[in-house]
């Protein structure tokens, strides 16, 4: 495992004296410091150019992409050049940190420390000047906006997750019995919305839910269908409380593909003898599905469900783009954004973020326990 290392004693005898050792040591140190320093200065100057220049957009784009992508590579090379100059003992001690150090630093700076700071901010007032104790949590758990958000998030979690999994399971099970080429086409079509942003999806669905007063031509598909059957057009997006369901439909449309892909892989892993044996014993397709398929892929269903729950908990873009949180459709993440960015109340914004964090703690605990069990020898 360890790279072949020479002892420093050998080095001294090879260079034949203390003076040489000091000279090469200083030389090495200079090189070691010089390379990263130059790298840093160059990167800094390009950054200032990017921030302040009025060059055409495409020039900025190209320079920025090259700088961003190349910059990280250069930083790693510079760190390596620095390490290479050090005595072997230090080299082997520091090399692991050249590899994992940047990741640890970024994780600490962007997730770990901010989480702690958010907890602190949540105990202070809007601009952080005064300690307010649990006032922000009182807001987070009792204000009408947040109570509405909790109710709606619960709806999103139950219906959004539940129906995504159900539809994903239906497609996965049925497609498994069709011609492979047909299966691929159907699965691609169901999967396609995953590539679409939630803002893009909101444009698509606002068009579907488009409403015009009775008597005028409906250009929204849903109202066109309703009026074609003689009904009155409905303003779906402001139609309380059902409008929540119409927003959740967008999530289901986006996430079913994900559930389908994962569940499909699990279903293909069921040994075919198992199902055949059940059929020979006279089990109907439905019995085979509920008695064999479902129990066999139970674990996968839980994983898929958990992933979609975590995703749904943070749902934000759809509500912002569809209703802005109006008409009784507010959700936690959008209320957090509103407090943070519209009201500039960093205290309340932080408290709501902490609520979101608390909600995922059980999953985090489960993941960690799972990890500890699987990797005794890690």
Query: Of 289-348, which residues contact another protein (CB under 8 A)?
Result: 303-304, 306-307, 310-311, 313-314, 316-317, 320-321, 333, 336-337, 340-341, 346
Question: According to CB under 8 A, which residues from 229 to 268 bind another protein?
Answer: 253, 256, 258, 261-262, 265
* Closest CB 187 distance from another protein, rounded Å: 9
Give the footprint of another protein on residues 25-84 (CB under 8 A).
Answer: 47, 50-51, 57-58, 60-61, 64-65, 68-69, 72-73, 76, 80, 84
**Distance between CA atoms of residues 204 and 249, nearest Å:** 12
Distance CA(252)–CA(245), nearest Å, equals 10
Residue (60 or 155) nearer to another protein, CB? 60
Binding mask 143-172 toward another protein (x if CB under 8 A, else -) reads: ------------------------x--xx-
> Least distance in Å: CB of 196 to another protein?
5
% helix, strand, coil for the chain, step of 5 = 80, 0, 20
Instruction: Tally the residues of the chain.
Output: 378
List 146, 288, 297, 354, residue binding another protein (CB under 8 A)? 354
Least separation in angstroms between residue 306's CB and another protein is 7
Backbone φ and ψ of 240, nearest 5°: -70, 150
23 is a site residue for another protein (CB under 8 A): no
Of the candidate residues 26, 37, 109, 134, the single one contacting another protein (CB under 8 A): 109
Helix (H) or strand (E) holding 369: helix 346-374
Report the chain's C-alpha Rg in angstroms.
29
Q: Locate tokens 């200079």: which residue?
A: 30
How many angstroms separate the CA atoms of 305 and 310, rounded? 9
* φ, ψ at 368 (rounded to 5°): -65, -40
| Nearest distance from C-beta of residue 235 to another protein, angstroms | 14
């Amino acid at each position: 495992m360890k790279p072949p290392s020479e002892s420093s004693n050998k080095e001294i005898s090879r260079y034949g004296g203390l003076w040489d050792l000091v000279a090469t040591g200083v030389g090495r140190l200079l090189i070691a410091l010089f390379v990263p320093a130059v790298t840093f200065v160059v990167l800094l100057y390009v950054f200032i150019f990017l921030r302040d220049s009025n060059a055409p957009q495409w020039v900025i784009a190209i320079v920025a992409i090259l700088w961003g992508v190349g910059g990280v590579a250069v930083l790693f090379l510079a760190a390596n050049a620095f390490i290479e100059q050090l005595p072997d003992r230090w080299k082997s001690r520091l090399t692991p940190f050249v590899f994992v150090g940047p990741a640890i630093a970024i994780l600490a700076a962007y997730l770990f420390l901010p989480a702690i700071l958010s907890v602190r901010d949540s105990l202070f007032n809007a601009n952080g000047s005064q300690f307010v104790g649990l006032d922000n949590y009182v807001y987070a758990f009792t204000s009408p906006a947040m109570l509405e958000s909790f109710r709606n998030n619960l709806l999103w979690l139950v219906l959004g997750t539940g129906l995504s999994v159900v539809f994903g399971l239906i497609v996965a099970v049925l497609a498994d019995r069709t011609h492979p080429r047909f299966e691929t086409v159907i699965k691609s079509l169901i999967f396609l919305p995953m590539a679409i942003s939630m803002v893009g999806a909101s444009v698509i669905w606002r068009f579907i839910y488009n409403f015009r007063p009775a008597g005028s031509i409906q250009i929204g598909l849903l109202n066109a269908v309703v009026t074609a059957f003689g009904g009155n057009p409905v303003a779906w997006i402001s139609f309380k409380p059902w409008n929540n369901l119409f927003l959740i439909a967008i999530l289901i449309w986006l996430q079913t593909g994900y559930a389908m892909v994962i569940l499909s892989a699990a279903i293909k892993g069921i040994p075919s003898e198992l199902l055949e044996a059940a059929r020979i014993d006279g089990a109907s397709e439905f019995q085979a599905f509920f008695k064999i398929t479902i129990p066999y892929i139970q674990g996968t269903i839980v994983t898929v469900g958990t992933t979609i729950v975590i995703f749904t908990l943070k749902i934000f873009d759809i509500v912002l783009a569809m209703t802005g949180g109006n008409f009784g459709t507010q959700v936690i993440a959008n209320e957090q954004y509103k407090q943070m960015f519209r009201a500039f109340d960093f205290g309340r914004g932080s408290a709501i973020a902490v609520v979101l964090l608390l909600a995922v703690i059980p999953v985090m605990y489960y993941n960690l326990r799972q990890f500890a069990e699987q990797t005794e020898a890690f």
